[in-house]
Each structure stands twice: as C-alpha cells, then as structure tokens.
Structure 1
Amino acid sequence: MSINLKGRRVAVVGGLRTPFVKAGTYFKDLSPLAMSTHVVGEMLSRYGIEAESLDDIVWGRVIHDPRISNIAREIVLDLKLPARIRGYMVSNNCITSAHAIANLADAIAGGRSQAGIAGGVESMSQAPVLFGRDASRIFLEVGRASSLKHQVKALLHLRPWHFRPESLSVKEPSTGLSMGEHCELMAKQWQISRQTQDEIALRSHQRAAQATADGRLTAEIAPVKGIDRDMIVRGDTSMEKLGALMPVFDRSERGTLTAGNSSPLTDGAAGVLLMSEERAAREGREPLAFIRDIQFAALHPDDGLLMAPAMAVPALLRRTGLSLRDMDIVEMHEAFGAQIACNLAAWEQGWKDEAIGAVDSAILNPLGSSLAVGHPFAATGARIVTTLAGEMARRKSRYGLVSICAAGAMAAAMILERD
C-alpha cells in the first residue's frame, strides 16, 4: 500500500513528545490519556496554535483499554478543545503513528483538512489484566443478572483458579513466536553476529547520550513529573557491559539477542503537527520539512517477521525516483540490533526487491534510536518523524528517510524533504 501525496504539500510544522521511560517506573501511574493530553496540550502552547484552527486529531495505541474505545476523541474532550474537531484512533503495532501521520497527511493533501495533530501513546505499565474465558463468562453473567439472587447464583460458579489473571501475550497469533524469537531466526538466517548487534546498540546509546547533552533530543520533549529527558539512555555503556548480558529469546549457546541489543518495554506519547503548505505560509510558520511520500508493505512472517522494510523502502524510492544516495539522514526504528543489520543487508544485497545500496553509518540514526531512547509501540513513528524533521532543519538537509518495521510482518517507509 502506498500514499502518494499529489495534492497540496503537507508541512511538518513541529513535533513534541513526553520523555520515554522504562515501563513500570516513572510513568506507571500515568494513564495513556493523561500522557496524550499532555503532549497535545503542550504542542498547542509551544507552537502558539489556536485550537479553533485544528481540524483533526488522529491518535493511536496498540495496547487497548476497553474503557476508552476512541482515545483521539477523548483527547479533544479532555482538553476542552472545540467539539467540532474530529478525533479518531488508528492501530497497527509499531507503525501505528506512521498510519496516523499518513491518514492526516492524506486528508490535508486532499483538501479535507487544513491542520491537525497525529501521534500515538503506549503505557506498558497499565496494560489491561485479562481473565480466562470461563471467568469472563461468569463475570458477564453477574453483570447481566436482574437481581441479587441471580448475581449470587452466578458467583457461586467461581473457583479459585478463575482469579488467576492472564497476561497479555507478546507472541504473534499466527506463529506462536514472539518478535524476539522471530528476530533470532532472522539473525541466524542472515548470519548477524552478537558483536554486530551490540555495536549497533552501543552506537545508539552513545549518540542518544550526546544528543541529550547538546539539547537536540530534549528540544522535542515536554517534561512530565519533573522528568525532562529519556530515562533509558545509557551513555556509559560499553561493549564489555553489553557483552556480559545473557541471551533472552534463545538461551542456548546460539542465542544472540539480549536485553542490551533489544528495545525495552516503554511508556510514552508523541505527536506531530501537520499543516497544508498554504496554512503554514499564511500563519508565517517555517516548516521543518514536507512529507514527500509514504509507503506501507507486508509479507509472510515465515519470510522474516521484521523484514518488511526491505520491501517498503525500495518500493518508495523507486516510485519517487529517488535513491538511497539522495538521503541525507536515514532514521530506522531499532526494534532489535539484529533487525537493523538484517534489513541493511537486504537493502545492500537485494532480497525480495532490487538492491538499493549501503547506508553510511554516519547518517544512520544520528541521534540514536529505539534501542537507547525506548519504544512505546504506538508513539515510535511520531517520535522518529519528529527527530528526523528537527535534525533535517538543523542541518538544512534535502531528504530524509524513515523506516519502521512492525509486528505482523509489516513496515512503513516515509520520505521527508526540504526545499
């Protein structure tokens, strides 16, 4: 699937996010809605946006709270924004906010919208607790009971084992394997060494630490609870420290994926402010970049669960008439160090599509990425676009490439450009 923005140009005016923190720590008491409204509210304030000028809020999440079916609309109402602002939710694993951006960009290019905010949120700290089907059936009977007598009768069917919660599974429903287990298979197939994976992780932490120290990463953060930086970045890590970690998905001597070269479970929210070029010009705003084009791709999990970027990026470059050499910055989501290495190899060698060449490590994730910063599933796409657009503006770059893999064997690719 591709989205070719042939209508009005869509400007990335700005982006903002919470700090990203390890699940179960600093934000464990913050709801996804609270993190989301914080980002949207702060974005309106920071960029001086009149709420009346917004048309849409498109927001996503992956771990769903059944009590809030449409978090985007609740952001509008929670912030007491004009009720006419349309808000709707999207969800597609790690490319969720890439879809949110694509949907909003398509609406702006097509003239259905002038300005809006797209993004996503994830709270792994507040993942819903599930009960088994038998317990759920009994609780539903209690809820539907018309009298206390019938409620008690239904409750008498409960047994001690019914109260054992079932944690959300991170396994692929179609294969029964987790993303990490799938990535181990990819690493073996593509012969990606443990050292290569650890080197990618080390570089990510070092660059993220530097970008935090010099203010490039903190510039895109709206502090929360006194926290003004990503709390997962470890600037003092080393190959020795990373090498001491044990494999977590394949615990045999052949395992290579560890907690150090895999992205952590993370809480956070991120959003991107998009406008038509005309609206931005009318308001005297200088866009960070423009969205040139967007591509989505999918393959069978047996071919490599996280290998769809090897299809999405070549297809996007081919359709736009651009090459990998034209890209000044390449932002790849770091689900795992092995996933980065596998897709880089596929781009260079050719795989299910033609070879597109090698990526210079100097332009790859220059501010670090998900291994160091963190990966709140539905927020990652908006975080990457924010980081890329900001760095392109600082460097006055011409082109930037986004590549994001996702569970379900899917991917998103996006090209940003500047005049």
Structure 2
Amino acid sequence: MAFLSNFPKAALQIQLKSAGARCFNASTTTQSSKSKKTLAKPNVRNVVLVEGVRTPFLMSGTDYKDLMPHNLATKTLSGLIKRTGVDKDVIDYVVYGTVIQEVKTSNIAREAMLSAGFKDTTPAHTVTQACISSNQAITTAIGLIAAGQCEAVVAGGVEFMSDVPIRHSRKMRKIMLDSSKAKTTGKKLQLLWKAMSPAVWTPELPAVAEFSTSETMGHSADRLCTAFGITRLAQDEFAMRSHKFAADAIQAGLLTDVLPYKVPKVAEYITKDNGVRPSSLEQMSKLKPAFIKPFGTITAANASFLTDGASACLLMSEEKALSLGLKPKAYLRDFVYVSQDPKDQLLLGPAYATPKVLDKAGLSLADIDVFEYHEAFAGQILANLTALESDEFAKKFLGKSAKVGAPKMDKFNLWGGSLSLGHPFGATGVRLVTTAANRLIKENGQYALVAACAAGGIGHGMIVERYPSSK
C-alpha cells in the first residue's frame, strides 16, 4: 500500500504486538472517568435514547431462512413498543437502514411499520450507507428531533442474507424487456434465438465488493493487515477474545436488548445469537485463508459472518420522554462521518472518526469509559488500533503532531462484537449504540464512543452520554 510506504515498519510491529497483547489479556473491569461535565449545548435540544432492542442475530441460512426481512424489522418495532409501553400513536416518524434490499419491500421501514400496526399516517423511509446504515438512521432521527420536526422517532435497521436478490444477466433482462414490446413473430423468434446463448443465462449475484475498485472487502482487509504488519496470530487472538466476551455476556444475562423470536412452525423461541462459538488457537489455526490464498491471514474464524437480524431504538426529545414518565438511558451527543480512499484505506473509518469526534466534543481519550467499535474483521480492528498508536499516521493523515492513542482494551467491546454476535449490515449500528448505553449504566460510566467502518471507505463516530438518573 503506497499510503504506508514511509511508515517505520518496526515501530508498527511493536505497536501491533502491544495492541494484540492488550486485546487478549484485557480485564473486564472498568472504572468511571473523572470528567463530570455534560455535553449539553445552549439552545440545542437534548436527544435521548429511551430504549434499544434487536432480534437474535443468526448466521444466514439457519433458523430465519424462510422468513422475509420485514418480518424481523416488524418484530423489533412491536418489541420496542411493548418494552417501552409507549403508544404507537406517539411515534412521529420511522427510519430504517438496510444494505441489500428485498425488491418487494424496497421501503422496508414503511412496510415493517404497517405490519407492526402503526397508524398509516406515520411517515417512514429507508436509508442505506453500507455497514453504518442504522447509524445513519439514528443520526437522521437526531436531526428530525433537533430541528423540532419530530418529538419521537424510531430508528432501526435490518439485513437478511439468507435470501438475497439474484438477477438475470443484463443481456437477459434486455431480451425480456424487448420481448414485451415485440409485435411480430419474426422479432419474437429473433429474441428467442438471442436467449439461447449460455452466457445470457448466467445470473448476477450480489457481491460484497467495491464498485470503484472491484475488490472485495476481504481482499482489502487482507492487504490492510499486510500494510500494518497484523499477524494471523494476533487476529485469531482477538477473535477468540470477542467470542469469549460474547459468551460470558450471554451467560451473565447482559445482552438485555435481545428479543425472543418465534419462527412459525418452530416449537421453541430463539433467544440468543447463534454465531457465538468460543474456540481455541489450535482449532483456529487449521482454517485456510478465505480471500488471498495461500498467504492471506483472514479466515472464516477471524472475520464477521453473513448474518440475518434487525434492530430498533426509540429516540425522543428529552422533554417528550420526561413528559411521558419515561426513564432515558442516554443522551446521543456529537457525531461525525468520515471518508477516505476506498482502496488502501477502506476500513480505517474508526482511526479517522475517533479523534474527530473527540475533538468535536471537547473530550480526550481518557474521558471515555466505554468503547464500542464495529468488528468487521479482527485485522481491521487491530489495524485501526495500530494507526491510532502511530505518530506517523497522525502527522500524515490526521493533521496532528503526535499519535491519538488507542482505546484501553479493558474498556473495549467487553460484551463481544460483530465477530461473535454477528453483523447484519443494516442493523449493527443500533446494536453498538444500545450496547454502549447499557454498558455505561452497568459499569457506572459517563461517556461512550461508538465507531464503525463501512464499505466505500466511509466511517462513523458518536459520543453517547449516560443519562444522569439511569440505573
């Protein structure tokens, strides 16, 4: 990667070793920061997170496989209303994020809302921004409330990889469209002859690849690991950490955002994520590279998996929430979106978003009690941590005189992450924000930082502040 050609490799390897060790040996005990100031701004409405929920996240092709995505989204809407006790008529707007759309429900926010029994006069729309689609849904909701357009908005996201749309080839699509206009027998026979070509029948499958570079995210991640010197061992150790922490959190009953889901014709309720599978380094080392063969370091064990799932959260103006007797969990404060080179820096969104959102909020890394970062790949997380620990990266790309510093790992993704819990592209952002709020309450912290990368070389960062009376 040319953008790292001037980086001192030895320094990066030392930083990686340190980051990897911190990741695997992290303590699960956190302490509240010393900062007592609030991020409330004069003449700016406070937006609060009342509650967040999600379906269990399941590996695609498993128990959800015969459903449709709006079924999962509907469950989060009805489950959110049931848990909060808020009347559906209170909701002014619904916005959902998704990435690979089901063509029958292109505005899935609207279809899910109607299926959940909301009044048909409630507006709804769907957004897409790759892996930060529900982050965008949240910030869209924040904007509607802050502008005084709405008082209560449901923001959510859904992804359904068990049944992705598969298209005929473009040639076949053109033949089919032309055939509907053909008037003569000769013209119809001519089109039929064209349709006999085997190439015409080759389907087009959706791909997790960059349109601008034609490179899959896995290939980009593998090259990023090479550029930053991220070893296979460090990646496997981090993946083990994610699965262990997720399993511990489930066992301890910490993942209270999960709604039991009843699949039709299945006797038992689904109550937990099915991708959490603690393993050993010995078992993980047996897996072959998934993308760059035979020398790549990313495998099925240290990458997030294709996932079905949905999430939703209720956001309100503080005044509205209190007037209804609700107890908010957190304030949603400053947020940023970043973008960079989609080829060499595709997955470095957190490294750019972290210092930018801290600067915007007037906070330092030490002020943050809880970190919730999206884990697309173990190597992607470690590359971002290494970048944050690099003076050279800070000077060359962040416009800073010295390194930002990486989050302390005893505050980082302590209830598991996308590697273990799963990553429904359109739904992960709400999970991150909800988990951040729930951890702040559980761990008696004040500020959380949420960050995520996404396809296209974009990223997101947000500051979540615990609501003072939340327990």
Please tell me the TM-score bracket, short chain as reference.
Answer: over 0.9
2:243 aligned with 1:205, yes or no? yes
- C-alpha distance in 2 between matches for 1:58 and 1:385: 16
Ranges in structure 2 where 5+ consecutive residues have no aligned partner: 1-39, 264-268
Give the fraction of aligned pairs with identical amino acids, expressed as a percent. 39
Report what 1:395 is aligned to. 443
- SS of residue paired to 1:231: coil
2:75–2:116 Cα contact (<8 Å) kept: no
The Cα of 1:309 is off from its aligned counterpart by 1.7
Pick from 43, 48, 53: which aligns with 1:16?
A: 53
1:253-309 deviation per Cα after TM superposition (whole angstroms, max 9, x unaligned):
3x1111010000111111111111011111111111110111100001233210122
Pick from 433, 437, 440: which aligns with 1:385?
A: 433
Matches within 5 A, 1:55-94: 55-94=92-131
- C-alpha distance in 2 between matches for 1:106 and 1:264: 32
Report what 2:272 is aligned to. 229
Report what 1:338 is aligned to. 379
- C-alpha distance in 2 between matches for 1:265 and 1:356: 32
Pick from 222, 231, 235: which aligns with 1:193?
A: 231
1:218–1:228 Cα contact (<8 Å) kept: no
Pick from 329, 342, 357: which aligns with 1:316?
A: 357
The Cα of 1:25 is off from its aligned counterpart by 1.3
Quick check: 148-157 or 325-334, which moved more? 148-157
- C-alpha distance in 2 between matches for 1:160 and 1:228: 49
Count of aligned pairs: 414
2:389–2:406 Cα contact (<8 Å) kept: yes
2:282 aligned with 1:245, yes or no? no
1:19–1:224 Cα contact (<8 Å) kept: no
Report what 2:5 is aligned to. none
- SS of residue paired to 2:104: coil
- SS of residue paired to 1:278: helix
Give the counterpart letter for 1:244 in structure 2.
Answer: K
- C-alpha distance in 2 between matches for 1:147 and 1:417: 69
- Displaced runs of 4 or more, over 6 A: 146-153
1:18–1:224 Cα contact (<8 Å) kept: no
- C-alpha distance in 1 between matches for 2:185 and 2:251: 62
2:158–2:426 Cα contact (<8 Å) kept: yes
Pick from 135, 139, 153: which aligns with 1:98?
A: 135
- C-alpha distance in 2 between matches for 1:142 and 1:71: 31
Ranges in structure 1 where 5+ consecutive residues have no aligned partner: none
- C-alpha distance in 2 between matches for 1:328 and 1:366: 12
- C-alpha distance in 2 between matches for 1:302 and 1:18: 33
The Cα of 1:163 is off from its aligned counterpart by 2.7
**Aligned-residue CA RMSD in angstroms?**
1.9
Report what 2:254 is aligned to. 216
Give the counterpart letter for 2:381 in structure 1.
Answer: I
Structure of higher CA gyration radius: 2
The Cα of 1:358 is off from its aligned counterpart by 2.5
The Cα of 1:155 is off from its aligned counterpart by 4.3
Pick from 174, 177, 183: which aligns with 2:212?
A: 174
2:83 aligned with 1:40, yes or no? no
1:48-67 deviation per Cα after TM superposition (whole angstroms, max 9, x unaligned):
11011001100011002233
Report what 1:28 is aligned to. 65
Q: 1:405 to 1:106 in 2, by over 3 A?
A: same
- C-alpha distance in 2 between matches for 1:113 and 1:416: 21
The Cα of 1:146 is off from its aligned counterpart by 7.2
- C-alpha distance in 2 between matches for 1:16 and 1:143: 46
2:288–2:294 Cα contact (<8 Å) kept: no
- C-alpha distance in 2 between matches for 1:30 and 1:205: 27
- C-alpha distance in 2 between matches for 1:94 and 1:361: 23
Return the TM-score normalized by structure 2.
0.84
